[in-house]
A and B are shown apart, each in its own frame.
Chain A
Amino acid sequence: MVILTMDKTFILDGKTIPFEEGETIMEAASAAGVYIPHLCHHPEFKPHGSCKLCTVSIGGRLGASCTNKAAAGMVVESETEALNADRRALTQMLFVEGNHICPSCEKSGNCQLQAVAYHLDMLTPHFTHFYPARDIDASHPDVLLERNRCILCELCVRASRDVDGKNVFGIGGRGIKSRLIVNSASGRLADTNLSVTDRAVEVCPTGAILRKRHGFTVPIGRRLYDHHDIAEVPVAGMKEPRSS
């Protein structure tokens, strides 16, 4: 097929998507209402490109749609069986890498990791669990840090640095021992200048950073992803589907 309209559009799964100069594939797709699975991407923050869920085929070459810029005439494939199988495997990797026990998690139903798993038809964790020993930090009066659920997306790192201007969070260690660290000599969240109103607190896609005493204000069964597929509400911290 010869693409004649080379002007500021590209093809995504057969659909013509317009884009603005400098926009990434992810940004253009989102603007056109097309969902590409992702976890570390958030439209308000600088692209990160680490979770790799949003990997698409760009003219046959694979790349993260959140970091690759859209270009006129490019042919992108996202909803293929092979890519979704890879995405499911990545999600399973995230599950076995940490300790994710949905039935006892306050975030269940509002959790993006869980919602992506449902979206990708993940039925089992598949891989052998690592069961890592990770710390819970309950020192802060208003915020709980549950490292067992951290998927290292660095959204809190970016939010605290770029929006809150505080640098409360960072990633320490290396490889499978990477861990969320906080900006205090004691290593405790209470000794940082984090405030419960910080953007970093609400941006977590999982239950790793939680506002205390709000865990069950909306009961399980009435939560966002109990009623909507994540494709309809793809942004962490969003309360309502985009269309409504």
Chain B
Amino acid sequence: MTEHNVCDLPGIVARWNNDPANMVQILRDVQESCGTIPSDTLDQLAKLLGVPRVRIEATASFYHFFHAESHGAYEILFSDNIIDHMAGKEELKRYLCERLWLEPRKLSEDGLVYVDDTADIGLADQAPSMLVNGYAVPALDHSRLDLIAELIRNRKPLADWPPMLFEIPDNIRQAGPLTGEAFTPGAALLATIARGTDATLAELEAANLRGRGGAGFKTATKWASCRKAEGEAQEHAGPSQVLPGPLGGEPSVARFSGGAHYVVCNADEGEPGTFKDRVLLNSHADLVFEGMTVCARVIGAKQGLVYLRGEYRNLLEKLKSVLARRREKGLLGKSILGEQGFDFDIEIHLGAGAYICGEESALIESLEGKPGKPRNRPPFPDRCGYRNQPTVVNNVETFACAARIAERGSAVFTALGTPQSTGSKLISVSGDCQRPGIYEVPFGVTVRQILIECGAEDAHAVQVSGPSGTCISFREFDRIIAFEDLPTAGAFMVFSRERDMFEVARNFTHFFAHESCGFCTPCRVGTSLLRNTMDKLAAGKGSAYDMNEMKNIMHILLDMAHCGLGHTAANPVVQTMEKFPDAYEKRLMKLDFEPAFDLDGALSTARLITGRDDEWAHLAND
């Protein structure tokens, strides 16, 4: 895990079927075994795979977890969500850096350690947290960092570190049909086979299951449409046929392999503050895989893919063992449960640090080995998805729900929730409360009820569904969690009276600027303009003009951005401005305009060069 060896490139490429569509996986394996992706590796890959180097470099330079320069034997990435900050992340990071004698973002002098930040790693209930060589370590405090510093100084391989550092409890505080009730693997499949695919689809329709990723699209509609869509006759294509790319994308380098319909599970749970899929996959993976298999039966797919976010690397082996067990039991593979022609298997792909890959078409691009940039739509994945074939992409929790509906029927499912939002919802509670963790609640529950359950007496604001969701103030705590009021992917970050909501929003603008894919002008530039303006306010140089500017940028993002990331990127700023105006007003120095430019700051390089820092080397403050 720690020792970086000379990388067996041909072996890695062979393991991924010599298929350039698996480029992200190939690069991940190179990165994991060598610690870096050196420039000459790109050339070797280009030769081995027959793909232009420039295309591999585009992918290698897109993902946050890939890097050409060495990050030493230990790469430490601190989770950088506002919840981590509230739990003392900055101080702890400084502490660790001091213990290891290094500066962040700079390889230590002995070439051993590198420390940096990364976007939320899905452990907000156990903040602050970090990744060490890709493996999550939760609940950081001084004593754990002392131990880690010692392990690093002694050059202990990660495999020999005390396992308790990597233990991640589920923290299920309130269980429900998905998290609290026993499930016999195969039960949903038996019921599906007995009922037939038409009736199963009708059951999903009657259950009114809607996508749990937050958008709430009806699952039955998606499956039915995908089932109806004709898989193009790729069977006739040659083995290295270059498929035409989707509108606007580059040609897919995919080679045909297997069935013409695909089931994809979106486990790229990147929304800061969300960690419910981590828990479902850790303890209820059978339910998720079974939901995927039910989907395969309905739409006629032979191949399923789980796109697991890179931050959940620690779950990979466990998930693979669940898949192996399911194969042994005849729940995956050829002739599932003895049904002739019911062939389906699931492969796990890992992400590499890109929030945008949670967007379904960007996820598909990533599965095809490309930078995760959202496609032009239509066509949607149900008609033209993975390898340009009809593809169902659903959230982890949606598949788990689908399995339950297939197993028990729609009536049991609709007994919970509201007519428009049926069933239960997993809420990931974090922040200022006594009992952070997973709450499986019926849809329709009020924000206040959840706050009472989790022990958040002093709650002042809640960020529902993460930075791209809705910020609500204490005046709105009677609103309900439901598609008709507050739709959510699951994040529920609680902020007490003491918290500075400006800093919350500022953290989110940094997140969006970091995670914008850069494809479209408004998001690429707009998210950075927002971040810079918030930093300007934080530096005490803000004016009412800047506030207006941010509202204007929000309109441009809403009107013009290519995908949901851009559309929602200004929400945290505009909503906190509206609901917590004091947090902004106290920062405004002038009503008209104050330039961002710092004249004295601009002389800092000159001071560094001349080695001067006396009074005369500074401009007088006005």
A161 and B250 CA atoms in complex are apart in Å by: 9
A181 and B529 CA atoms in complex are apart in Å by: 24
State whether A174 touches B517 (Cβ < 8 A). Answer: yes
Residue of B nearest to A92 (CB): B525
Chain A hits for B529, CB < 8 A: 93, 127-128
State whether B52 touches A167 (Cβ < 8 A). Answer: yes
State whether B560 touches A178 (Cβ < 8 A). Answer: no
- Given A152-B518, A174-B61, A185-B53, are A130 and B528 neighbors across the interface (CB < 8 Å)? yes
Chain B hits for A15, CB < 8 A: none
Give the contacts of B15-58 with A (CB-CB under 8 A). 39-40, 42-43, 52-55, 57-58
Closest CB in chain A relative to B24 CB, distance in Å: 14
State whether A50 touches B562 (Cβ < 8 A). Answer: yes
Chain A hits for B524, CB < 8 A: 97, 152, 175-176, 178
Does B522 belong to the interface (CB within 8 Å)? yes
Give the contacts of A113-150 with B (CB-CB under 8 A). 127-128, 130
Give the contacts of B293-328 with A (CB-CB under 8 A). none
Does B520 belong to the interface (CB within 8 Å)? yes
State whether B54 touches A183 (Cβ < 8 A). Answer: yes
A93 and B247 CA atoms in complex are apart in Å by: 25
Interface centre among A47, A48, A175 (most CB of B within 10 A): A175
Does A107 belong to the interface (CB within 8 Å)? no
State whether B61 touches A173 (Cβ < 8 A). Answer: yes
Closest CB in chain B relative to A81 CB, distance in Å: 13
Closest CB in chain A relative to B471 CB, distance in Å: 23
State whether A90 touches B521 (Cβ < 8 A). Answer: yes
State whether A174 touches B522 (Cβ < 8 A). Answer: no
Does A51 belong to the interface (CB within 8 Å)? yes
Chain B interface residue count, CB cutoff 8 Å, equals 47
Closest CB in chain A relative to B372 CB, distance in Å: 9
Residue of B nearest to A151 (CB): B521
Closest CB in chain B relative to A173 CB, distance in Å: 5
Chain A hits for B245, CB < 8 A: 46
| Among listed B413-421, B426-434, B490-498, B508-516, interface-contacting one | B508-516
Encode B334-373 as 1/0 by CB contact (under 8 A) with A.
0000000000000000000010000000000000000100
Interface residue from A46, A49, A93, A182 paired with B525 (Cβ < 8 Å) = A93
Closest CB in chain B relative to A209 CB, distance in Å: 15
- Given A50-B521, A93-B521, A93-B526, are A170 and B54 neighbors across the interface (CB < 8 Å)? yes
State whether A86 touches B559 (Cβ < 8 A). Answer: yes
Does A214 belong to the interface (CB within 8 Å)? no
Closest CB in chain A relative to B252 CB, distance in Å: 13
Does B101 belong to the interface (CB within 8 Å)? no
Closest CB in chain A relative to B560 CB, distance in Å: 5
Chain A hits for B516, CB < 8 A: 174-176
Chain A hits for B532, CB < 8 A: 128
Does A222 belong to the interface (CB within 8 Å)? no
State whether B61 touches A176 (Cβ < 8 A). Answer: no
A222 and B512 CA atoms in complex are apart in Å by: 44
Give the contacts of B139-170 with A (CB-CB under 8 A). none
- Given A51-B521, A94-B521, A178-B518, are A128 and B248 neighbors across the interface (CB < 8 Å)? no
State whether A168 touches B54 (Cβ < 8 A). Answer: yes
State whether A176 touches B52 (Cβ < 8 A). Answer: no
Does A206 belong to the interface (CB within 8 Å)? no
Closest CB in chain B relative to A234 CB, distance in Å: 18
A169 and B52 CA atoms in complex are apart in Å by: 10
A55 and B519 CA atoms in complex are apart in Å by: 15
Give the contacts of A5-62 with B (CB-CB under 8 A). 46-53, 55, 62
Does B257 belong to the interface (CB within 8 Å)? no
Interface centre among A64, A130, A167, A178 (most CB of B within 10 A): A178
A52 and B525 CA atoms in complex are apart in Å by: 12
State whether A52 touches B513 (Cβ < 8 A). Answer: no
Chain B hits for A97, CB < 8 A: 524-525
Chain A hits for B519, CB < 8 A: 50
Does B576 belong to the interface (CB within 8 Å)? no
Encode B61-105 as 1/0 by CB contact (under 8 A) with A.
111100000000000000000000000000000000000000000
Q: Which residues of B contact A (CB under 8 A)?
A: 39-40, 42-43, 52-55, 57-58, 61-64, 245, 247-248, 250-251, 354, 371, 376, 513-522, 524-529, 532, 552, 555-556, 559-562, 596
26 contacting pairs across A/B (C-beta < 8 A): A46-B245, A46-B247, A49-B376, A50-B519, A52-B520, A52-B560, A62-B560, A90-B560, A93-B522, A93-B529, A128-B532, A152-B518, A167-B55, A168-B54, A172-B57, A172-B58, A173-B61, A173-B62, A174-B371, A177-B518, A178-B524, A181-B61, A183-B52, A183-B53, A185-B40, A185-B42
